């Protein structure tokens, strides 16, 4: 991931009667991104995650959804906030560069499933995530 812009790639469902399967294109995960940390989370309806930026780390978010949700981001301090709304069923890869504040808001009635990957280790003694609001809670 070398771009200074946040990018979103919609994934094609290649699943069958067993369920969904969303293969990630190599170009979305490869390149200069060296995986150093991963976390799996859910986002319950009416809640949000994020509203932060990383100074040094790049992040890849894999989001699988079955209802409405929204992605909110900026390109750095003082830049406008962009919002993209997703609805229905699907999966996306969101590539987040350093300094771009980002947030995911669950606007639907089903949990979102999120895998977060970063190219730097998580170290609570030396944090690399800092708050900058780009989304408000649902209904506010």
Write down the H helix ranges in 4-140.
26-29
Strands 112-118 and 82-86: unpaired
Query: Is 108 within a domain?
Result: yes
Residues 6+ apart with CB under 8 A from 45: 67, 106, 107, 108, 109, 110, 111
Query: What distance in Å separates the CA atoms of residue 3 and residue 1, rounded to the nearest whole number?
Result: 6
11 lies in which domain range? 7-15+22-121
Query: Is 140 within a domain?
Result: no
| Secondary structure (3-state) at 79 | coil
The number of folded domains in the chain is: 1
Phi/psi at 27 (5° precision): -60, -25
Greatest Cα pair distance, the chain, in angstroms, is: 47
Query: Is 126 within a domain?
Result: no
Query: Is 136 within a domain?
Result: no
Query: Is 2 within a domain?
Result: no
CATH label of the domain that carries residue 110: 2.60.120.10
Query: Is 112 within a domain?
Result: yes
Query: Is 93 within a domain?
Result: yes
List the 7-10 sheet strands across, edge first: 7-10, 90-96, 59-65, 112-118, 37-43
Query: Is 98 within a domain?
Result: yes
Tens of pLDDT along the chain (140 residues) come to 446 899 999 999 999 999 999 998 888 776 778 999 999 999 999 999 999 999 999 999 999 999 999 999 999 999 999 999 999 999 999 999 999 999 999 999 999 999 999 999 989 999 999 999 999 987 65
- The model's pTM is 0.92
Q: How far is CA 3 from the centre of its chain?
A: 16
β-strand partners of 53:
130
């Amino acid at each position: 991931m070398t771009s200074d812009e946040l990018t979103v790639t919609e994934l094609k469902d290649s699943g069958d009667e067993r369920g969904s399967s969303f293969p990630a294109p190599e170009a979305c995960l490869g390149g200069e991104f060296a995986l150093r940390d991963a976390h799996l989370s859910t986002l319950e309806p009416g809640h949000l995650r994020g509203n932060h930026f990383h100074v040094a780390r790049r992040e890849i978010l894999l989001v699988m959804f079955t209802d409405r949700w929204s992605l909110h981001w900026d390109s750095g301090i003082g830049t406008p906030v962009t919002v993209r709304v997703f609805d229905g069923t699907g999966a996306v890869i969101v590539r987040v560069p350093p300094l771009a504040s980002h947030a995911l808001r669950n606007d639907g009635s089903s949990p979102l499933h999120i895998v977060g990957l970063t190219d730097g280790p998580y170290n609570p003694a030396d944090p690399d995530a800092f708050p900058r609001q780009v989304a408000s809670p649902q209904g506010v």
